Chains A and B, each alone.
Chain A
Amino acid sequence: MTTDNGFWATRRLVLQGAGLVALAGFGNIAFEAAPAQAAVSDKYPAKAFTLKGDDTAIKALYGKTVEVSDKVSLDAPEIAENGAVVPISATTTLPNVTSISFMVSENPNALAAYYRIPEGTMPEVANRLKMAKTTKVTAIVEAGGKLYSATKEVKVTIGGCGG
């Protein structure tokens, strides 16, 4: 469904000589990407959204390991009264950021959102996520081709899955 969008968006990037491809270190655009390349195209990473557990989702989305960094700031409430709407945001001082994602460890599917940050866009994003129960939340920033994260625990009083 989004394959065509991904294809043409990628084409547009090539034609505009966008720095994104250079930043990612890939000389060519691969349309049917290997898992590690899925993180640098505009194609919707459907598989990554179905996986349980942070590690499996990270592997599917990026194919790389993550290191904790104090240069990633994650804003999350200590206690979320309503697990259906938890305001979460992240920002970073790292340069050359190409994406930011959020993992909610205890959700049935760990990956909640994955933002592609083109050159010229600030490396920060605010959104609202559902949390099934008390959980760790992790923001993962992809910068210069490497992954950096920050994690917080959010206590959830009323679960966000409608239960």
Chain B
Amino acid sequence: MASTIRVRAVSSGEVTEVQALIQHPMDSGYVKDSHGKIIPPHYIQQLTFEHSGKNVLVANWGPAVSKDPYIKFSFKGAKKGDDLKISWVDNKGQTDSTTAKIH
């Protein structure tokens, strides 16, 4: 199954900039469908970025994060060719993860 996670991690000097775009409805639970029925909440709760066995970012999200969430951040200590592992878990217990190379 294709990953929901698209990531670009680029290293420049000692800083690696990470951008990730994740496919997820991020339904807040406040929106009704065309029949007037509430669409149940379905959103990523935790998104974790890991390098060298250590978390470099833990994103705790609520339903106010936009659909198909985007995130950008930077961290030190990685170099080109290193692996960056990204994983998420949502409020329904669904998960996905991927490993990307740092360029």
Contacts of B54 in A (CB 8 A): 12, 16, 18, 118
Q: How far is the CA of A1 from the CA of B59 in the complex (A)?
A: 16
- In this assembly, does A73 line the interface, its C-beta being within 8 Å of a C-beta of chain B? no
Residue A45 CB within 8 A of the other chain:
yes
Task: Report yes or no: A84 in contact with B67, Cβ–Cβ below 8 A.
Answer: yes
A1-35 Cβ-contact flags toward B at 8 Å (1 or 0): 11001000100100010100000000000000000
> Which chain B residues border A116 with CB–CB below 8 Å?
55, 57-58, 60
State whether B67 touches A85 (Cβ < 8 A).
Answer: yes
**Chain B residues whose CB sits within 8 angstroms of the CB of A118 once the complex forms:** 54-58
Complex formed: what's the CA distance from A115 to B97 in Å?
18
Which of B28, B64, B72, B89 contacts A113, CB < 8 Å? B64
Range for the number of chain A residues in contact with chain B: 35 or more
The answer to whether A127 and B69 have CB atoms under 8 Å apart is: yes
Complex interface: chain A residues within 8 A of B35 (CB) = none
Does B32 have its Cβ within 8 Å of any Cβ on chain A?
yes
Answer whether residue B1 sits at the interface, using C-beta atoms and an 8 A cutoff.
Answer: no
**Residues of chain A contacted by B64 (CB below 8 angstroms):** 104, 107, 109, 111-113, 129-131
Task: Say yes or no for B81: interface residue by CB 8 A criterion.
Answer: no
Q: Assess whether B57 is in contact with A5, with CB atoms less than 8 Å apart.
A: no
Residues on the B chain within 8 Å of A2, using CB: 45-46, 89
- Taking a contact as CB atoms under 8 Å apart, the answer to whether A1 and B28 are in contact is no
Question: Is the C-beta of B10 less than 8 angstroms from some C-beta in chain A?
Answer: no
Is A128 within 8 A of B93, CB to CB? no
**Proximity bits, B67-94, A CB within 8 Å = 1, else 0:** 1011111111100000000000101010
The 15 listed contacts between A and B (C-beta, < 8 Å) are A1-B89, A2-B89, A12-B53, A12-B54, A46-B45, A104-B64, A107-B64, A112-B62, A112-B64, A115-B60, A116-B57, A118-B56, A118-B57, A122-B73, A125-B71
Chain B residues with CB under 8 Å of chain A are: 15, 26, 28, 30-32, 45-46, 48, 53-67, 69-77, 89, 91, 93
Apart from the given pairs A1-B93, A130-B65, 5 other A-B contacts in the complex at a CB distance below 8 Å: A49-B60, A120-B77, A121-B56, A125-B72, A127-B70
